Structure 1
Amino acid sequence: MHVSSVLYAVLLVTTCLASVSTNALLLVLFATHLKLRTETWALTLSLTICDMMLGLTIVPAGVYSSCGGGLFTEDTTACRLAAFLFVLLQLASLHSLTWMTIDKFTEICFPLHYAQLFTSHRTWLIIACVWVYCTVQASFPFMGLGYYAYNGNASLCMPSLGSSTKAYSLLLLILGMSTPLMTVCALYIAIVHVAKRQARRGTFMCNEQHCYYVPIRPYFRNTVLLVASAAYLLVCWTPYLTISFMDIFHDEDIPSLVEKISIWLVLLTSVLNPWLNSLGQKKYRTALQETWKKFKQICVHVEQNQLPLQRETHICLRSQLTLPGNTTQTTVHT
């Protein structure tokens, strides 16, 4: 096996483990902390499920194929279904992230109307529309518009993008991927602009007892997180989109290593999404700390319960040895 294939398989395995564990952790926080279930928490839930399913299905399939597995190395029905699932999960993840950003933008820039615009009912309706749209777009190759095939460089079954399927390729790349990415980046730029303007003048926060001045530092930290949230999307998606557009209009042979890196960067978003869009926020960090404290308390409680059992077992053994007929004889060697 070539060195690049081995390194690619190692990257996929690492991405798989990190994606599953991180998104599973976020699901645990949702299950144990009801305060995280806001009116729009379904958007985060949708993104988490998409990223976790990518780590459980698509990435292991890539590892299996890169190691010489035969199930996904041919244009079979299993390969087409795997490609359909790949496109469906990527589109659903990207569009769920887009609506999360729209929700965040509305909350910051239009706080007085936010409660009326984003309700729980409307959020679930948005999620339903996103999944229906992504399912329809991922089903186009089954309707004769485009087709799915095995990509030997990426060791994955993917949509075949090229001049022969120009209409489907442009529809997928522009409407399905580029437009949500540009929307997210534009909204983050607007949010950063609002945060910067607010930071220059500061603000006052009030509770039930008094009001206090909030300095510029918290806004600066939040701005850094927002910039990182937009930058990682561009870094992870730009190589794949660039290569795909080159395949459509130029039909040039892309080096295998470059294509593998571009696909891995796209899959890497399933690891970065929960950290930069959820776990980086203060309320999630607080919930994570509380969960860790509860876990340590449970471990200590289990250890304390095991000690009396060990003592009782030791006493029972000693009592059995002291019964008549169980006397021990000691032999002295001279």
Structure 2
Amino acid sequence: MENSTQIVSFVLTAYGNIGRLKYLYFTIIFLWYLLIFVANAVLIVVIYMDRRLHEPMYLFLCSLFVNEIYGSTSLYPCLLSQMFSDTHEVSLTNCLLQIFCLQTSASIEYCNLAAMAYDRYVSICYPLHYNVIMTTGRVCAIILLVWIYSFVKSTFVLSFNFHFTLCGNVIDKVFCDLQLVSKLACSVSTLNSLLDLVFGIVTIGLPLIPISFSYLKILIVCFQTSKQTKQKAISTCTPQIISLLNLSCGCFFEMFQSRFNVAYIPNTLRIILSVYLIICQPVLSPIMYGLNLSKIRNACKGFLLHRK
């Protein structure tokens, strides 16, 4: 029986034998990653350079764009390197690091959307007190808390899930997955299953509380105010709601595949669903906010065309 000290690498079996298609896959993945990096980086630079965008909502968006780059970088370089690998092995250290980054990125995404929902709640429900409540210092403190909370939580998740003995090193995915690694344990206790449930609730359920509260309050205000206020609320909240729904769908696909037997699903579809979140969310965010919000759209035009 192998123990945890003997497992030095994991084998990612979902790649299969892709033959010459690896060149096509490599090109597509590289261009997609380049699109994600450039789109989010441009918006980060635009928000940083344009003082008119140094407002709470845009600072939260800047944090969101940074996280899109962070989360994508934890996956795409690994995918690119595996395209030309014959064994599709990943070291134990790199596997743990990838799991940590993906867990952290998902948590930051949810918490950031919660902070943005609260910002919209204050803006729409308490417009006269908005500048007093959402000061720059408070916004920066919220963003810092989001990142620290996510990093600390992910550290606890890994520490609780990697104290057991492993009896295998084969992962049926194109990246390292915490649940599939946990299933390689020689014995899984009820405590581990309970902790898995708790960490899932903390990651997804906890941020959903302020999100649900904020949008419920906004909805109530919309029914009680003028048509102009309704339109403002809809235009500012729609991108966040779409991002939340897309994020939740991605997390659902991921959790469903990791926890249940999905052998009946075609391999290609399983791979797409497993990386759906990292494929769509990092591109959806700059599209929804960069194109939908007029201030950012105009600032991008000025930045790219060198106009003041």
TM-score (norm 1): 0.68
Amino acid at match of 1:96: N
Superposition misfits of 4+ residues, deviation over 6 angstroms: 147-151
In structure 2, what is the equivalent of residue 283 of structure 1? 295
Indicate the structure whose relative CO is greater, using CA pairs within 8 Å and at least 6 residues apart: 2
Q: Which residue of 1 aligns with 2:203?
A: 176
Verify: 1:58 aligned to 2:75, yes or no: yes
Question: Within the alignment, does 1:44 sit opposite 2:53 as a pair?
Answer: no
Query: 1:12 deviation in Å?
Result: 3.9
Q: How has the CA–CA distance of structure 1 residues 166 and 44 changed in structure 2, closer, same or farther, with 3 Å as cutoff?
A: same
| Aligned with residue 177 of structure 2, among 126, 151, 158 | 158
User: Which residue of structure 2 aligns with residue 81 of structure 1?
Assistant: 97
Q: 1:247 Cα deviation (Å)?
A: 4.7
Task: Work out whether 1:25 is the aligned partner of 2:42.
Answer: yes
- Superposition deviation, residue 266 in structure 1: 0.9
Which of 82, 96, 99 is the equivalent residue of 2:112?
96
In the alignment, what sits opposite 1:13?
Answer: 30
Contact 1:17–1:55 (CA under 8 A) maintained in structure 2: no
Pairing 1:129–2:145 present: yes
Q: Distance in 1 between matches of 2:94 and 2:223?
A: 50
Identify unmatched segments of 5+ residues in structure 1: 204-215, 298-334
Does structure 2 conserve the Cα–Cα contact (< 8 Å) formed by 1:151 and 1:158? no
* Letter paired with 1:144: F
Partners of 1:187 and 1:257 in 2: how far apart? 39
- Displacement, 1:142? 4.0
Which structure is larger by alpha-carbon Rg, 1 or 2? 1
Deviations 1:37-84 (A, max 9, x none): 1245432222121111223342221232254376x7335112111211
For residues 1-334 of structure 1, the aligned pairs below 5 Å read 1-2=17-18, 12-39=29-56, 41-68=58-85, 73-74=89-90, 76-145=92-161, 152-160=171-179, 164=188, 165-181=192-208, 183-184=210-211, 187-188=214-215, 190-191=217-218, 194-195=221-222, 198=225, 200=227, 202=228, 219=231, 223=234, 226-241=237-252, 244=255, 247-248=258-259, 251-254=260-263, 255=265, 256-267=267-278, 268-294=280-306
Q: Which amino acid aligns with 2:144?
A: A
Query: What is the CA distance between 1:245 and its match in structure 2?
Result: 5.0
**1:207 matched residue in structure 2:** none
Separation of aligned partners in 1, 2:170 and 2:83? 11
Q: Tell me if the contact between 1:75 and 1:150 (Cα under 8 Å) persists in the aligned partners.
A: no
Query: Match for residue 325 of structure 1?
Result: none
1:279 Cα deviation after fit: 4.3
The answer to whether the Cα contact below 8 Å between 1:188 and 1:230 also exists between their aligned partners in 2 is: no
Is the 1:84–1:138 Cα contact (8 Å) retained in structure 2?
Answer: yes
Count of paired positions: 276
Shift of 1:120: 1.4
172-181 or 84-93: bigger deviation: 172-181
Q: Match of 1:155, SS?
A: coil
Whether the 8 Å contact between 2:36 and 2:283 is mirrored in structure 1 is yes
Give the root-mean-square deviation of aligned CA atoms.
Answer: 3.6
Alignment deviations for residues 111-149 of structure 1 (CA, whole Å, 9 cap, x no partner) = 122222211111222122222211111112442335799
Cα offset, 1:271, TM superposition = 1.4
SS at 1:294 equivalent? coil
d(CA) in 1 for partners of 2:28, 2:158: 31
How far has the Cα of 1:275 moved from its partner? 2.6
- The 3 A distance-change label for structure 1 pair 224 and 103 is closer
Write the distance in 2 (CA, Å) between the matches of 1:40 and 1:138.
26
Q: Which runs of 5+ in 2 are unaligned?
A: 1-16
Counterpart-to-counterpart distance in 2, 1:123 and 1:86: 24
